């Protein structure tokens, strides 16, 4: 509990995830208030602002950046626009929370990081699993040395339902889905760096879109410089719900995180036992989504750097880009080097 | 999401549970605002009001009742004062949320119910398990007929740590702890009424306080008019945390609810598998506590009766009182009849 | 592994359980051989003997007792005949394994125990849960002090399907079903003695047989002289299978035993998660049944007393008889004293 | 139950696994008897034969092959000798059960298969997971179509403890450990064929033996011709025990198999929850090992082909060999074609 004045956050992008963040900012986070919403789609920002009693809304994001009442922004626009939005927000002196991926290329990522550094604003990227209690507990075990040095790792993301495949940009499975797993693996292997990436992928849900470049299912093997071998897998359609789990096996043991069950209520009938499964990210990670924004609000207030930074996002991106190159070339690929601090 | 004006709620009793409710009202429930805090203990209300930016605080609850800005009250005072507080609040025209137990005698309970009915104000009692997602899912299964007619039922409450036994009023285990289980069993056996209660109890944690009337461990058997045999058990000290579970076995199957684990992260080392357990009610039932107040705020706004009423609280109380009589007489006891609507 | 000569065991009673034991003796227990089968039902012993290549079969059990090749007997006859069978077998100098219950009255039990003592033959009773790996592991934890002194205990037996209620002897639920739970509770509370028993029971599966004395569902509360409060419950019909579980809560923690699942294979589909449940005692306790007979064979060979004796069976019986008296009188009942060693 | 005459099986190789199989043949499998043991190590066969009351033992396997009383053989010799042993046994007209791997090269495998076919003897390979109840249940779900077409698969083998790395032949992790996973993945993806294999491996447990060719940790990605992407991983040292699990994710859902827990007894203390883990293959797969030999005994008796054949073993071997080539070349590799029937 704190008596500090709440910070005022502006939302950029009023789609599904943006609306969720906006509602959290407006109602769930004591240290934050929702000050403005910007979205170019006609009426979208206005409607959401009305629902949430948000004082201002814009169809032009520049107006939001120009608003001196806004301390920080949450960027929930389409992925390809993220890096430019970060740069603009940083130049406007706003603290920045950006949904993943931070950027689609390393050059963009470097510019975004540099912009935030130059403006001395906090830059946080939306790797929400880091704020999940179960995943956090796994990291605590690893950091405490309970399972020793990681040797075999797993992380998976299986979304509930494939959206219209015609509207899915190429490489989405790496840049927007598996990017979560790449960050999780990096985070659960503290201090290690990915040195080799091999990816296999296919259009198994909609094979008719394979010639259009769709990959809806993928497995990625990553080798780290501490020897750990990691596997990330993803599918765009798990009919049983939203399936996010991870495992880290090390010299001292194994830790598992993630839970498929919506509640632990179990029913046993003549047919056997039945349980209910988690059906969406906003169901599974509701608390984590709120916690990451609460952290961002706190960083906006204090100016401190968030616990998950642009550098973390860039590290995950190097793996995603290596995976893409691996798919294209059919061989394992070495990720490009980490961000050079003298850029 | 709603654009309605929030209702203004006053808190009465700024102790452990009161402070939790106050923080929820002030920060977690979009439809509510915390308007005032009353507590006779010097400084308690003022301090909490300052922390939560609550505009008013009183040492005299009458002032809170007299405040026309207050739409409803949350009563979190010591149990023996609940019924009188409900009566006073109802007379003042406030919607009432009261922590369990609603009353210590049936006469008090009847007066409280009658006062709320006479004033036409909502009266909700703090049976928070009804707002827990897992327990709610169990009820949904039962109501859908998936396990048939209940035949054997279990519910337990094991608190983490015995407080100072010298300060625990006699019969607390029935009136304040097992009352949750009695309500849960009633709720999970829809339409049925308890017709026989047998209780066994002892001071096993602090046998030195047995002569002072302490019961810190108890088992209660309840027979319902639909034949179901139910067992409630309680302990004041589960060293592993806060243990609340229930099971309903019926003609068509079994449903279990409740979960001992804090997260489903599991660690496997040379010593075997380890998990972490839930350590407190506010950890296990955080969402349920917030949901019950959100429901109360909505009832305050609309004037509708809550889903858990004074009549429900009275039904649980009849079982608690029968359990006390069973302990005193050493035999099974028939609970007193349900509230007569013409009282 | 051992090179000892196998002992020769005779089976008395070739029904469902007898046939299971016979198959184990004939084929699954290296230290035993099945030497004879006796059953008065025409053809039953002969057919089973043929199937199992058992050298001898009798319709008159006296012939089996008279057979000098038989080292020990397994008694799997109807419950009411057990005590007399034990006496006769002991007089014939045979080691005795008897299915539970050992006797229907304490007088019978005392005579059976005395007969075995007088003949210096081992006497083991079929409390198979003591040989289950999971239950054994729970005892090991308790004996090691990991959960401290027991305070609250649970044990349940829910059979898959009610047999013809017209053929179920009165009090079967206590003498043949809950007797397992009474033994389990005694065993998991080492050194403690039951001092008070309260039973509630009903005919909920077949209420039409209630007037014939059927009890098909029951809850029994037991108070031990170390303070522990225990609950046993039973049903004759769990549509999901065979449900045997136990819990012991003590000053230092909680231990749970028993598992409803047939395998830990779990299937997740659009409908949620599904598992398969254990369907019969012979499925759940297959290994335990074989282990108890292997132990009996070893005791037969060495002459040592088994780990589960006539005195254990008598202690469980005193609880069952107190439960019956509690049902008849409607009040809690003190069990009769333990076996006096000078009988 | 059957009254058939047991078949007589000879054991070749009296090491750890051979001794386990011998004990099962001698004592646990009604349809089999252990007729002879052969092992060149001085005294090994004689000692085991004495312990198990096996009538004959040889230091020269040719004598066992020449023994007309022997109907079939169990080959549990070092892996490099398997194929030659199969050929010799088949030529001697014996039914053959061979531990995995059946062979170290495809040429050897083809000769072994051809020898068994030519002699018209059953040839079974020791893929014991196929006889595990949980894994079998997973296959049943898959075969019933409950999870649709496989898309993402996982299988892992983590052994409890690395043996002396100086005595581990190169590629053991593929030929002797992951071969189980390759077979499991093939089996759980009925009708599909592996078309691409990528392997990453390292010496993480004993990096000092990496220059000697040790791989003690590996991840293998397999693409099947039905599109499924599968991952197998292995470690030679899981300090928590023996970890064998699998998952199959498909168009209709997910099925998981495998269980880390020795029993489902759980203890909760002030430190949290604890469980015990499975510590060895012979603990986890005891029943499966016995079942596979019972199946072999039955095939020996009837002459029918086993449910897991030389062709299955060859299919797993093609994946292992492709994994080895992938390690050597650093790229994904296409496995060699399936056994040509006209070889």
A296-326 confidence digits (pLDDT tens): 999 999 999 999 999 999 999 999 999 999 9
CB contact (8 A) between residue C3 and residue D141: no
Average pLDDT over residues D42-65: 96
In this complex, the residue of D207, D227, D237 whose CB is nearest that of residue A204 is: D227
Q: Three-class SS of residue C124?
A: strand
| Chain C contact set for A268 (CB, 8 A) | 240-241, 243, 260, 277
What whole-number distance in Å separates Cα of residue D294 and Cα of residue B13?
Answer: 71
CB contact (8 A) between residue D270 and residue C255: no
Q: In chain A, positions 321-340, which contact chain D (CB-CB < 8 Å)? A: 330-332
Q: What pLDDT is stored for residue C338 in this prediction?
A: 57
Greatest extent of chain D over all pairs of C-alpha atoms, in Å? 67
What whole-number distance in Å separates Cα of residue D85 and Cα of residue D66?
Answer: 13
Q: What pLDDT is stored for residue B253 in this prediction?
A: 98
**Smallest Cα–Cα separation from A324: which of A165, A199, A218?**
A199
What is the full per-residue pLDDT of chain B (343 aa) written as tens digits? Answer: 444 689 999 999 999 999 999 999 998 898 899 999 999 999 999 999 999 999 999 999 999 999 999 999 999 999 999 999 999 999 999 999 999 999 999 999 999 999 999 999 999 999 999 999 999 999 999 999 999 999 999 999 999 999 999 999 999 999 999 999 999 999 999 999 999 999 999 999 999 999 999 999 999 999 999 999 999 999 999 999 999 999 999 999 999 999 999 999 999 999 999 999 999 999 999 999 999 999 999 999 999 999 999 999 999 999 999 999 999 999 999 999 755 444 3
pLDDT digits (tens, 9 = 90+) for A153-190: 999 999 999 999 999 999 999 999 999 999 999 999 99
Task: Chain C: list its partners (3+ Cβ pairs within 8 Å).
Answer: A, B, D
Preferred mutation among D161, D206, D249, D328 to probe A, highest tally of A CBs within 10 A: D249
| Chain D contact set for B269 (CB, 8 A) | 239-240
- Residue A144 in contact with partner chain D when CB distance is under 8 A: no
Q: What pLDDT is stored for residue A4 in this prediction?
A: 66
Q: What distance in Å separates residue D81's CA from the closest CA in chain C?
A: 29
What whole-number distance in Å separates Cα of residue C268 and Cα of residue A277?
Answer: 8
The answer for residues whose C-beta is within 8 angstroms of residue A27's C-beta and 6 or more apart is A52, B30
What whole-number distance in Å separates Cα of residue A109 and Cα of residue A84?
Answer: 9
pLDDT at position D339 over 60: no
- Residue B275 in contact with partner chain A when CB distance is under 8 A: no
- Residue A30 in contact with partner chain B when CB distance is under 8 A: yes
Tally of CA atoms within 13 A in the half-sphere of B33 that contains its CB: 12
- Residue A2 in contact with partner chain C when CB distance is under 8 A: no
Percent of chain C with pLDDT over 70: 97
What whole-number distance in Å separates Cα of residue A83 and Cα of residue D308?
Answer: 55
Q: What pLDDT is stored for residue B338 in this prediction?
A: 57
Phi, psi of C214, rounded to the nearest 5 degrees: -70, 130
The number of C-beta contacts closer than 8 angstroms across A and D is 109
The number of C-beta contacts closer than 8 angstroms across A and B is 95
- Residue A47 in contact with partner chain B when CB distance is under 8 A: no
In this complex, the residue of B260, B271, B272 whose CB is nearest that of residue D268 is: B260
Contact between A97 and A24 (Cβ < 8 Å) = no
Q: What distance in Å separates residue C337's CA from the closest CA in chain D?
A: 33
CB contact (8 A) between residue B251 and residue C233: no
B223 φψ region: left (φ > 0), alpha (ψ -120 to 50), beta (else): beta
| Chain A contact set for C273 (CB, 8 A) | 240, 260-261, 273-277
- Residue C196 in contact with partner chain B when CB distance is under 8 A: yes
- Residue D245 in contact with partner chain C when CB distance is under 8 A: no
Q: Count CB neighbours of C1 within 10 A.
A: 11
Phi, psi of C22, rounded to the nearest 5 degrees: -60, -45
Rounded-to-5 percentages of helix, strand, coil across chain C: 40, 25, 35
In this complex, the residue of A156, A205, A231 whose CB is nearest that of residue D219 is: A231
| Chain B contact set for A26 (CB, 8 A) | 30
The residue of chain A with its CA nearest to that of C271 is A240
DSSP type of residue D227: S
CB contact (8 A) between residue D264 and residue C255: no
| Chain B contact set for C229 (CB, 8 A) | 200-202, 217-219, 233
- Residue A243 in contact with partner chain D when CB distance is under 8 A: yes
The residue of chain B with its CA nearest to that of D243 is B268
- Residue A157 in contact with partner chain D when CB distance is under 8 A: no
Residue D246: C-alpha distances to residues C146, C294, D66, D235, D257 (Å): 33, 34, 42, 15, 5
What is the full per-residue pLDDT of chain C (343 aa) written as tens digits? Answer: 444 689 999 999 999 999 999 999 998 898 899 999 999 999 999 999 999 999 999 999 999 999 999 999 999 999 999 999 999 999 999 999 999 999 999 999 999 999 999 999 999 999 999 999 999 999 999 999 999 999 999 999 999 999 999 999 999 999 999 999 999 999 999 999 999 999 999 999 999 999 999 999 999 999 999 999 999 999 999 999 999 999 999 999 999 999 999 999 999 999 999 999 999 999 999 999 999 999 999 999 999 999 999 999 999 999 999 999 999 999 999 999 755 444 3
CB contact (8 A) between residue A200 and residue D204: no
**Smallest Cα–Cα separation from B256: which of B163, B147, B99?**
B147
pLDDT digits (tens, 9 = 90+) for D142-190: 999 999 999 999 999 999 999 999 999 999 999 999 999 999 999 999 9
pLDDT digits (tens, 9 = 90+) for C157-214: 999 999 999 999 999 999 999 999 999 999 999 999 999 999 999 999 999 999 999 9
Peptide bond into C101 cis (omega under 30): yes
pLDDT averaged over every residue in chain D: 95
- Residue A217 in contact with partner chain D when CB distance is under 8 A: yes
CB contact (8 A) between residue A238 and residue D249: yes
- Residue C271 in contact with partner chain B when CB distance is under 8 A: no
Peptide bond into D101 cis (omega under 30): yes
Contact between C217 and B251 (Cβ < 8 Å) = no
CB contact (8 A) between residue A135 and residue B252: no
Q: What pTM was computed for the model?
A: 0.95
In this complex, the residue of B53, B256, B269 whose CB is nearest that of residue A3 is: B53
What whole-number distance in Å separates Cα of residue B35 and Cα of residue B56?
Answer: 6
The answer for residues whose C-beta is within 8 angstroms of residue B111's C-beta and 6 or more apart is B83, B87, B103
In this complex, the residue of C133, C135, C146 whose CB is nearest that of residue D267 is: C146
Confidence category of residue A217, pLDDT binned at 50, 70, 90: very high
Q: What pLDDT is stored for residue D105 in this prediction?
A: 96
- Residue C122 in contact with partner chain A when CB distance is under 8 A: no
- Residue D4 in contact with partner chain C when CB distance is under 8 A: no
Choice between D3 and A267, residue whose per-residue pLDDT is larger: A267
- Residue B268 in contact with partner chain A when CB distance is under 8 A: yes
The number of C-beta contacts closer than 8 angstroms across C and D is 97
Residue B6: C-alpha distances to residues B70, B90, B297 (Å): 11, 20, 8
The residue of chain A with its CA nearest to that of C269 is A240
Q: What distance in Å separates residue C56's CA from the closest CA in chain B?
A: 45
- Residue C5 in contact with partner chain D when CB distance is under 8 A: no
| Chain A contact set for C274 (CB, 8 A) | 271-275
- Residue A227 in contact with partner chain D when CB distance is under 8 A: yes
What whole-number distance in Å separates Cα of residue C202 and Cα of residue C205?
Answer: 9
CB contact (8 A) between residue B219 and residue C221: yes
CB contact (8 A) between residue A231 and residue D233: yes
In this complex, the residue of D239, D243, D272 whose CB is nearest that of residue B240 is: D272
pLDDT at position A341 over 90: no
| Chain D contact set for C137 (CB, 8 A) | 262-263, 265, 276
């Amino acid at each position: 509990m704190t008596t500090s004045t709440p910070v005022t956050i502006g939302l950029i992008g009023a789609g599904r995830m943006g609306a969720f963040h906006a509602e959290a900012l407006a109602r769930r986070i004591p240290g934050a208030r929702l000050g403005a919403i910007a979205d170019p789609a006609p009426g979208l920002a206005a409607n959401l602002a009305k629902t949430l009693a948000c004082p201002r809304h814009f169809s032009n994001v520049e107006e939001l950046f120009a608003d001196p009442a806004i301390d920080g922004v949450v960027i929930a626009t389409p992925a390809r626009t993220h890096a430019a939005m970060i740069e603009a927000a940083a130049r406007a002196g706003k603290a920045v929370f950006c949904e993943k991926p931070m950027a689609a290329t390393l050059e963009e990522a470097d510019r975004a990081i540099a912009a935030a550094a130059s403006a001395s604003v906090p830059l946080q990227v939306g790797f929400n699993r880091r704020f999940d209690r179960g995943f956090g507990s796994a990291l605590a075990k690893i950091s405490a040395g309970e399972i020793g040095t990681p040797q075999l790792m797993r992380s998976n993301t299986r979304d509930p339902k494939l959206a219209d495949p015609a509207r899915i940009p190429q490489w989405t499975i790496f840049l927007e889905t598996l990017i979560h797993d790449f960050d999780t693996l990096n985070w659960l292997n503290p201090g290690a760096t990915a040195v080799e990436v091999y990816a296999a992928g296919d259009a198994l849900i909609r094979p008719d879109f394979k010639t259009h470049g769709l990959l809806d299912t993928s497995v990625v093997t990553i080798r780290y410089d501490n020897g750990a071998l990691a596997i990330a897998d993803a599918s765009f359609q798990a009919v049983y719900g939203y399936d996010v789990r991870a495992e880290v096996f090390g010299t001292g043991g194994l830790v598992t995180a993630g839970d498929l069950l919506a509640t632990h209520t179990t029913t046993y009938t003549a047919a056997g036992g039945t349980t209910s499964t988690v059906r969406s990210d906003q169901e599974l990670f509701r608390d984590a989504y709120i916690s990451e924004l609460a952290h961002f609000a706190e960083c906006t207030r204090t100016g401190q750097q968030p616990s998950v930074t642009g550098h973390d996002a860039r590290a995950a991106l190097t793996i995603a880009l290596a995976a893409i190159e691996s798919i294209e070339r059919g061989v394992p690929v070495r990720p490009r080097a980490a961000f050079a601090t003298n850029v």
